[in-house]
Structure 1
């Protein structure tokens, strides 16, 4: 008995060692929990980045899908300009008396959006038809029946004014003539071309200048100046699209020619 006590005093009781299997289980459990949390956090961060990228992409598409927005001084586009970016069909519907023809004219916007010429709510010249061009776009109608006789466009910057003069001289008496500018309508115009257009009833043709916007409805054989005309001068101080003025629109009713 004494020997047992002495042995106990000489050798203090050993501390109980933890079961290594328990330690391993606890550590493995903590490792799995940490891994799951890190994975969840990574997915949340990735989702947030993806959402931000989608938002930025949508904003950029809305901003640059309309090329004219890059032309405006303040980056904004008026409702009038926005309306030109639809499907290219006639935007304004006009009802006229039985003995009249409805028309809708829209000049080009800068050098980006082509002009439109509509008769009786039908698109005659426009980007959808791929028949609009830089310069002066022209449609001629039979004044009695409203039948479209000719459509053409004449480049007044790099083209030959003689082709325009030849076309103007070929217009038959009693025809209705509709014109719309696009980009640059005046550089090559000479006195003869201006006089031929003035004879159709235009007043603005005499002062039409570099990159002005202009639409006009007149007729061959009339001696009365047309009131169906709009003209905006190219002025750096007031231009809407940097080097070009705002587009112009005109709609109304054209009376049939009577015998």
Structure 2
């Protein structure tokens, strides 16, 4: 029996609707469209995980106002030199060719953050009197950044350790042969500095054969208010 015109149209519509429903369910549910299926991709953009933003000296967060961003990294054994970064400026590094065995020190103005001087002191074969002449005349408020390389302590005497204590160090009392040490202090500090790390040289725990692992420390050091005139 042949179908009449209206009945034939109804059957065709039912078949088309059933095919669309089955296809939509099978190929992705009600959120997908036939257009997206034949296009091979969804129209929605793929989200890309953003890289964490880095701030001055590689910090993960910005420093508050009137603070300086810093990062201090001690040397690795006697091979990789130390680094001292302040406000996104590399003060001491192997690339700048101004690192040396012993203590690597950068001085900065505690009011403005301006770099004053960088110097290295060989604490294995050098003369500790050079270090004493460098530390004794520091002005009130001067910021002192220290990173060790190879051996920071063999030539340290009681006066040198006392001068670092006056800058806020507590670890310098026990600092010994080939220890790793990073420190940030200031002339005239009232309390002990919160910016200090020491890794003891120990045969049982050393990362390298004769040296402990390198230390890395970063943070925000507050500026001092200008002196009233």
Range into which the TM-score falls when normalised by the shorter chain: 0.7 to 0.9
CA–CA distance in structure 1, aligned partners of residues 99 and 215 of structure 2: 16
Match of 2:204 in 1: 237
Q: Write 1 or 2 for the structure with the bigger share of helix.
A: 1
Change beyond 3 A, Cα 1:246–1:151: same
What are the Cα deviations for residues 121-163 of structure 1, in whole angstroms up to 9, with x where unaligned?
A: 1110000100011000001110010000010010000000000
CA–CA distance in structure 1, aligned partners of residues 92 and 171 of structure 2: 22
Matched, 1:92 2:58: yes
Match of 1:158 in 2: 125
Match of 1:58 in 2: none
In the TM superposition, 1:31-50 aligns within 5 A as none
Match of 2:33 in 1: none
In the TM superposition, 1:118-129 aligns within 5 A as 118-129=85-96
CA–CA distance in structure 1, aligned partners of residues 57 and 223 of structure 2: 23
Deviation of the 1:221 alpha carbon = 0.9
In the TM superposition, 1:54-93 aligns within 5 A as 92-93=58-59
Match of 2:30 in 1: none
Deviation of the 1:97 alpha carbon = 1.5
Deviation of the 1:98 alpha carbon = 2.1
CA–CA distance in structure 2, aligned partners of residues 247 and 152 of structure 1: 20
CA–CA distance in structure 2, aligned partners of residues 113 and 171 of structure 1: 29
In the TM superposition, 1:121-140 aligns within 5 A as 121-140=88-107
2:212 alignment partner, SS class: coil
Match of 1:147 in 2: 114
Match of 1:43 in 2: none
Match of 2:222 in 1: 255
Match of 1:36 in 2: none
Q: Kindly report the root-mean-square deviation, in angstroms, between the aligned alpha carbons of the 2 structures.
A: 1.2
Match of 2:149 in 1: 182
Match of 1:171 in 2: 138
Deviation of the 1:103 alpha carbon = 0.2
Matched, 1:226 2:193: yes
1:124 alignment partner, SS class: strand
